[in-house]
Structures are given as C-alpha cells and as structure tokens.
Structure 1
Amino acid sequence: MTAVRFRDLLAAEWLKMWSLRSTPWVYLVTALAVIGFNVGQAYDIYHYWTERNAGSAREYVRDGLPVQVAFTANAGNVLALATVAIGIVAITGEYSTGQIRTTFTAVPARRSVMAAKAAVMTGVMTVFGAVVAFVSFFATQAILDLRDVGVPLSHPNALRAVIASALLAPVCALVGMGIGALLRHAGTSIVAGVAVVLLLPFFFSNDHHWSAVIAHILPMSAWNRLMEIPFTPQIPYPWTFTGAWLVYAAWALGAAAVTVTAVQQRDH
C-alpha cells in the first residue's frame, strides 16, 4: 500500500472542515458576537462621554483604557467558549457519525490523520483569531477617536493585546480537540471544555501561593495577564508576560499531543 503523503491528509481535512454548510456560519456568528461586544463597549463610552470625561482624556489614554475596550472580558469569554466548542466538534462529530472508522480504514496511520486535523485547525483558527482581533481593535479605536481617545496599534501594550487575543482562538480550539479526543462525546466534552477554560479560573486566586500557581497555568488566566494595563493593582504573587506566553504554548502543544496520541491508544 502506498503511503499517504501528509499534504494529502491536510487537503482532506481542509475539505472536511469546509464541506459542512454550517462552518462559515459558525465562524461568522462567533466573529460578529466577539466584535459586537467590543464595539458595543466602545459605543457606550462614546455615547456617555461628558465634559468631565473630556478633562481626563489624557489620563484615559495614558492608562491604556482604550486597549481594554478593544478586548473586553465578555468578548474573550465568548471567543474562548466558541473556539473550544469548534475544536471539540471537529473530533466528536466524526465519532458520532462513524466517519472516523472510514477515515482510519482508508488511512491506518491514525496519528498522521489527527496531526493533520490539528494542523488545519491551528492554521484556520490563527487566521480567524487574527481577523477578529485586528477588526475589533481598529473598529473600537475608530469609535473612541470620535472623542479623541482612540489609540494606534503602536500604543504601549496594544500590539501585545491584539496578538494575545488572536492566539486565544487556536489555543482554545486545540484544547477543545484534546478534550474531544479523550472523551469522544460532544456533550460531555463541551461541559469539560467549559469547566477547564471558563470555570476553573474562578476557583483560584492570587491570595495564596498554591492557588496563584494553579491560576497562572490556566489559558484564560494567561489571556487576562497579557491584557493587563500598567496601573493594575499589585497582587501578592505576580507573574510575568513571558510566563503567560509560555502557558499559551504549553496548552497548545500539550493539547495537540493529546489529540495525536489518544487515538493510538484506543479502538485497536
């Protein structure tokens, strides 16, 4: 039997992803929801801006608040939840329909199949996250500019926030794929995904060292750290931006490894 080239597996996974009519709509709705939260916040600031606010415009910009408006907590949560779900369905969908058996019959190299699936998801989600992040930033700053408090991408911390928000999409999608590969049931996997990404951070704080350590290794905590602005109050156990980037990388690589290896350990 002729070995299947990895680029052919990539092409097959690309076709699988876009053969579903719902795929473009899922991405569109997610993008509109995320951008909508941020633009809505920017419009509220524009609409309720008063003469008193105008007097402190310089401080508003200096403190980096326009960057915070570009990526609100609600928008980050929606993006994380949606991309985790997309990653989960990319795996569990094939198991629920039985298509995965056909795939593995045609291509016995299971790890290669799952690696291709993870690679395609990573590429698509990186582009998707970048589009959403950049559109959100420039749209919100255009609205804030109407009150002379919008900032350019070169503003301190702005580019970091854009990149962190863009990469949140592929990180969470890969986490979803890893969970889906382990549990293989859509409902159970989504519950687990929500718990890992959105709920766990609420159970840990920076008040105690052990709790801070756990909080710091969670993906949404890393995103929040990368979104922090200069005047954030001091916390007992602070961590660095480099640490937050490493958490991103660890979750992405770890989840990809689980996705690739879990399938080899089961269904023999």
Structure 2
Amino acid sequence: MTTRTAPATAGPTWLDTVRAERQKMFSVRSTWWTLAAIVVLGAGLTTIICAASAEWLASGDADEAVGSFITWGMMIAQVGAVALGALIITTEYGSGQIRSTFAATPFRGRVLAAKALVVTAVLFVVGTVTALLGYAGGNWFLDREGIGLALEGDVLRSMYGSGLYLAGLGLMSLGVGFILRHTAGVISLMLALVFVVSGMAPLIPGTVGDWIEKLVPGSAGASIATPVTFDPNLLEPWVGYGVFLAEVAAVLAIAWVLVKRRDA
C-alpha cells in the first residue's frame, strides 16, 4: 500500500504580493485622508498663491520668476508624501501585522519591493495630477494678468517632476520606516531632512554649507518639481534628481539588508 503526499503549496507570486500590498494600502482610511490632503493642499495652495501674487508678478516690481509660483503648493504636499511612505510600513510594525505579512511572504525583500512599487506608482500619479490641478487653477489668475504660462518645456517638466519628487520622498520614507519601525521617528527625521536641514544649510559658511544645501534630499530632489526654483544655488533639475535618487537607493539598500537580518 502506498501513501500519497500532498503537493507542496506554492508561495505567493510577485504579483500576489503586489496585489496584497495595494489592498492593504487602500483598505485603511489614513491612506485616503493623506492622498486627499496632498491634492487639496498641493493644488489649493498653488491656486491661492498665484491668485494673491498675480498682480504683483505682472507689475514689473517682482523679484521672483512667475514659474517659481506655479507649483508652490507642492512644497506643502511633500508632507503628505512623507506620511504615506512612513505609514505603509510603520503601522504594520506597530500593530504586529508585519509578522503575518512575513509569514505569508517569507521572502522579505519581495515585501519591501512590492511596497516600494505601490508607493511609487500611487505618489507619482497623485503628485502629477495635483501639480496639473494647481497649474490649471493658478494659471487662470496668471492669464488674467497676461503672464500665463504655457504647458510646455520646463513647466511641463515640473508637472511630472512633481510626481517624480513625491514618489521619491515616499520611497525614502518607506526605507527609513523599515529601518526605524516607528511612525513619529520616521516622519520627524524626514521632515527635518526636507525642511530643516535645507533651510539651515545656508547658515553654514563657505563651500561646505553650499554643498550641504545642494545635496540634502529636500533640495536635491525638489528642483525638478518647479520650472524656476526660488534658490538659484541648487543643482540643475535632472542632476539634482539623480543625486536624490542615489540617496533614496542608499536608504532602500540599508533597509533591504536590515529587513532580512532582523526579527520582525
């Protein structure tokens, strides 16, 4: 008499893992609130700033370029991208759900990669749409003063550049989340890198301060999201974004190593 052994159950495929991460992301209200905040703040503040500044910009007395204002609200939308990237992983560590995730998908690197793909896709689309909505609203007021901007060249680049920048911020926050495993710590650190360090760097004398200002993530990546930056000392948009991507990749590489070696 022979006995039959049950066939081994195949583990989840790459697409299964991606679908699971997408479902988890959109099954919680915090995701929807965060995405709504990105759109409302990003597009709304751009429209408000353009409305308030259009007459001044058209007067000839302005010391800033019109293009500096057409994605102004995306500076605040950065906060939402940081929060989303952090929450998609730190809430799992905080609730203990990460153990179930790793039990279902033993290949932990696949979980990280799936989360990264979902965060990148969502923030790129939302960031680009938000920038376009802000452009539509803000440019209406600029057009009334005869200083409207055509959706081409650097202006067009800043639209999808906004999506690229928010996607990069979300990825970096995700990586830091795998490293720190604490929501408040991740958001605090990322906001410091985006706002505080870049703002304090010009106070450091000499070339050291200049290079810190150019290379810190909040400065290196942000120039791609505006046709004309307020700070002329920053790197060129694509050069800066390349530096930013290298920084994101370094954080994700550290997260990849740690997530495989540490206990859940």
TM bracket, shorter-chain basis: 0.7 to 0.9
- Post-superposition CA distance 1:65-105 (Å, at most 9, x none): 33212122xx2332222211111111110011111001111
User: Which of 237, 251, 258 is the equivalent residue of 1:255?
Assistant: 251
1:68 matched residue in structure 2: 68
Distance 1:157 1:102, change over 3 A: same
**Aligned pairs, how many?**
254
Unaligned regions of 5+ residues in structure 2, if any? 1-8
Q: Is it true that 1:115 corresponds to 2:123 in the alignment?
A: no
In 2, Cα distance between equivalents of 1:215 and 1:189: 21
Q: Is it true that 1:161 corresponds to 2:158 in the alignment?
A: yes
In 1, Cα distance between equivalents of 2:235 and 2:188: 29
1:229 matched residue in structure 2: 228
1:184 matched residue in structure 2: 181
TM-score, normalisation: structure 2: 0.85
User: Which of 189, 194, 197 is the equivalent residue of 2:194?
Assistant: 197
2:32 matched residue in structure 1: 24
* 2:21 counterpart letter in structure 1: E
Unaligned regions of 5+ residues in structure 1, if any? none
In 1, Cα distance between equivalents of 2:243 and 2:68: 21
- Post-superposition CA distance 1:205-259 (Å, at most 9, x none): 38522222222222221245443639976x5xx6433421212321332333334
Deviation at 1:25, TM superposition (A): 2.4
TM-score, normalisation: structure 1: 0.84
Distance 1:166 1:100, change over 3 A: same
User: Which of 95, 99, 114 is the equivalent residue of 2:93?
Assistant: 95
Deviation at 1:19, TM superposition (A): 0.8
Task: Tell me the C-alpha RMSD between the 2 structures.
Answer: 2.6
Percent identity, aligned pairs only, is 28
Deviation at 1:3, TM superposition (A): 3.3
Alignment check: 8 A CA contact 2:178 2:255 kept: yes
Alignment check: 8 A CA contact 1:134 1:162 kept: yes
Alignment check: 8 A CA contact 2:124 2:163 kept: yes
Secondary structure of the residue aligned to 2:197 is helix
User: Which of 83, 86, 100 is the equivalent residue of 2:84?
Assistant: 86
In 2, Cα distance between equivalents of 1:232 and 1:29: 26
Alignment check: 8 A CA contact 2:43 2:74 kept: no
